[in-house]
Amino acid sequence: MKDLKNKVQLIGNLGNDPEIKNLENGRKLAKFSLATNQVYTDQKGEKVEDTQWHNIVAWGKDADRVEKFLAKGSYITLEGRIVYRNYEDNTGQKKYFTEIVMSDMVLPPKN
């Protein structure tokens, strides 16, 4: 269980085509959003669908796989780790965001 300190598994659909960047240092970066859905019944007995959007990044060979196999709407299972980052915008205001750094993905079998 020592490897489970910061691990997340998500199953969902890509909300956009992946953005692929080839960086100056030769590394490749892929960014995309993933929607996960949870359906539950509220206190009134009504069915509610809750969609959460996750910012995903993949590096190197994982970015190569994203570029080759994924597009908007793709249904995947992925594994990664949560990263919290912040920066200052041009007005000096601190901005915070969360992203998942992908370490593996599984595509559903083709029918």
Domains and CATH numbers, the chain: 2-40+48-106 (2.40.50.140)
Q: Tens digit of pLDDT for each residue in 51-72?
A: 999 999 999 999 999 999 999 9
User: What's the pTM?
Assistant: 0.85
Tell me the residue type at 67. Answer: E
Q: Tens digit of pLDDT for each residue in 10-36?
A: 999 999 999 999 999 989 999 999 999
